[in-house]
Structure 1
Amino acid sequence: MTASPTLVVGATMPRHEQRIEQLDLIRYAGASGDFNRLHWDSGYAATASPTSGVIVHGMLNIAVLLRVVGDWVGGDDRIASTSVSMRAPCPVGALVSFQARVVEVDEQAGRAVLAVGAELPDGAPVVDAKRSRVTVRLG
């Protein structure tokens, strides 16, 4: 875990890139019980998926995002709430870029609000940073 940054309005988490592979989907399906064929059956996904291929579980992308945000703010125990807007399906094997920026700090309430997002290499938002927020506890 990294040291807690100074959470001031405008502070930006270093961009984190991660490629989510088929093995990650298998592990996630086993843990979550989500065995939808869009996440493992390439023949089925070729005809049913919006990408014409296997796609990553949306909640898996959110889990990765929350893990890196938690690391940045000094621990996932600081995450108080999340509100995310999913925008685009994520093809398996795509390099996803995760980001966060502090948009509000309330010292009196002991919290900060971060705009968070995830995007594909072409800029397509998987998690829309304009509409997605994570609230974290300060200190």
Structure 2
Amino acid sequence: MALSASKLKVGDEHTARLVEDLKRTQIVQYAGASGDYNPLHTDEIFTTQVAGYPSVFAHGMLTMGMTGKMLTDWVGDARLTKYGVRFTSQVWPGDTLEAKATVKALTERDGVKLVEVDVATTNQDGVVVLSGYAEARVDP
């Protein structure tokens, strides 16, 4: 069921757990699906011994995709009109991610009701790993 503007107010929040204990396998599967085989995401030896990171880490777009799914699960399919993010911290194997969308404004453009939201995804330590915004069409 799609969101209704009449049932939303500024400050409303929607939260969802995106992943619990992110597995290396999920990161590698995303590499295959996206075609992004950057060794920082797939090659432990390169990542630790050459690049100096403690481990491989998730693609930013994997985090963005999981967060986007939370949004479409909430607002409905094909309703997002804008979605943009900034990657603020790395996501590591073993991380658990939670996303929150907070209603920032309810507007109308060309007779279409819209909800504008701020989006943040945090890890199990409360570190923000992604921040951004979205806009979606909503029912009246």
Shorter-chain TM-score: what band? 0.7 to 0.9
Percent of aligned positions with the same letter in both sequences?
Answer: 28
What does residue 39 of structure 1 align with?
A: 41
Distance in 2 (alpha carbons) for counterparts of 1:138 and 1:69: 12
Please give the TM-score of this superposition, normalised by the length of structure 1. Answer: 0.85
The count of residues paired between Structure 1 and Structure 2 equals: 133
Counterpart amino acid of 1:67? K
Shift of 1:105: 0.5
Larger radius of gyration: 2
Say whether 1:115 aligns with 2:118: yes
Shift in Å, 1:63:
0.3
Unaligned 5+ runs, structure 1: none
Instruction: State how 1:32-111 maps to structure 2 within 5 Å.
Output: 32-47=34-49, 48=51, 50=53, 52-73=54-75, 75-108=76-109, 109-111=112-114
Write 1 or 2 for the structure with the bigger share of strand. 2
How large is the Cα RMSD of the aligned pairs? 1.8
After TM superposition, give the deviation of residue 4 of structure 1 in Å.
Answer: 3.2
Superposed CA offset, 1:65-88 (max 9, x none):
010111011x23111111211110
Unaligned runs of 5+ in 2: none
Cα separation, partners in 2 of 1:55 and 1:94, compared to 1, 3 Å: same
